[in-house]
Structure 1
Amino acid sequence: MSSLSLHLNSPRLSAALPYLALTGGIVSLSLGTSFAKSLYPMVGAAGTASLRVGLSALILLAIWRPWRARLTRADLQGLAIYGVVMGLMNLCFYMSLATIPLGVALAIEFTGPLTIALLNSRKLIHFVWIGFAVLGLALLLPLDGNVQALDPVGCAFAAAAALFWALYIVFGKRVSHLPSGPTVAVGMSMAALTVVPFGVATAGLKLLEPSILILGLVVAVVSSALPYTLDMIALKGIPKRTFGVMLSGDPAVGALAGLLFLGEHLSGLQWLAIAAIITASIGAVLTSPAGEDQPLQDPAAPA
């Protein structure tokens, strides 16, 4: 028993925990986003985003009870900004999925964290891994001749989601010194206050139908409550550059989820894309020296 306790408290496990948390968050988010598509015909994009964020906020408030945490006015201001950005990121991404393909939306949205990764790169090898990530995302784009016909409004929503994703990393980092549970609970509550009015305006009382609430609850747990909690754990121990490059696994995991749960078979180029993205993620972790493998406090400043 003492040997097991010693193993669980080992420095190696402690160092790996943020990366395990981020990986778990990526997998959970991809599964939840795939499942959320079943709600679109019922309540629309804004309604789906409202159910996801609103129910997540209720779950997190019940679990973490953030009112017991000792938060200063500055903490609450930081959490408010973090939450509003989180809500707008979710809303814009779900709105983009209503009119453009998931692969294109993910590729556009990923330019946000990729920009954060680029701003925090200092050595040539870091740009090599970013290049692998860009290559992988480019191969995942559905370049079948229909790209020119993409809905400009959907692309604009995806671009806005990219901006808010980048801001989510920046402002999430600024409140990452706070306890993870209460941080995500307060942030998600602010996100709900931001997003739910849009869902109510478009779907109305249909959001309260039992069958829809049950589906929304599953989406909320798998695609919001769990991954955002894991994100806060990851942000405590992963520098922004590594965090941004590792998030490139999102489209790859999404493609695998489509294969396993939706029967969507992958082409050779898609498997090559997954290999490139995995290479970027592993390379970013392995080439982060001990002195750099600390959380950054500002996206434009070295550690």
Structure 2
Amino acid sequence: MTRKVIAPALKIVTWPLGFIRGPAQVFFVSAMFFLATFLVLTVATANRSFLIEAHTTTLDVVFGEGQNVWRLPEATVCIPLDVPDFASKGPCGIAFEAKGEPSEAIISWAENTKINVSTQSDALQITVLEAPGSDMIERSYFLLSAKSWKSAGALTFRASVIVGQDLQSGSRNLLLNGRWEAREAGLVTSFFRNVTEVVKQGTLPAGSKATVLIDGNPARVYGHFTQSEDNTLYVNVVSQLGNTALQLNSFGLDEPILIEPDWVDSAISSPLLLALAVFFSILASASQVFSDTSSITPRKEAEE
């Protein structure tokens, strides 16, 4: 019974070998096996990182470990009031109170502090949403004029971020436009080229919300934002390497879009894999020519 099962199985496994006749076929099969193995190892050992460049009027930041120090020149600190002051004509509005005169503020953001950065006409507003383990007052915010914001320069962060927000009727703060890239670096390709390769890229639709995930959780990103010419936020972030994915929320969709390049994207976009395929094709052709030449020569000698 065992022989009856094993014998047909061996025929199925060895059936492709019946087509291997001569060195050219052997080389072709070996090359295909090598390329397939290389592709599998490349995908299996690859670490992916996402780049996001965007113009937006809103950005959520949850600070991580490490130094996150911002210098805010001529900043007005606005503290929430228990009861609105309808007679107030200050820069903070009726629901907030200005804490002293505008002055330079140097802030060292604590880990897990969550803020929202948004543009308000010709000003920049940095609102403290959550501040666990910190003496900052939640809902308070820092207000900078366009001139003060420009002198602040680039403000960097090590954090998880959300670029844009869910679009609703009347929304004033939203993602305007942007682009993203998925970059991969792997153990196998590092032996040949110590570079990251762009395996997929696309644009960020206006009004969408973008964030990078790693294994389903917010990924750490390293980035900064600056003041653009139209007083909006120019944001540039690069995520940590790993099993990352880009999540996009757009108005009208029931579920967010998850962008996670697969082995097809890696194969199409890899210059190294394409170069190896061309190299083995040339060798296979050369092997075929050599095989044909070797088979013709003895035949001619026999005729003579």
Q: TM-score range by the shorter chain?
A: under 0.3
TM-score in terms of structure 1 length: 0.22
Higher share of residues assigned strand: 2
Q: Compare CA radii of gyration and give the structure with the larger one.
A: 2
TM-score in terms of structure 2 length: 0.22
Q: Which has the higher contact order (CA 8 A, sep 6+)?
A: 1
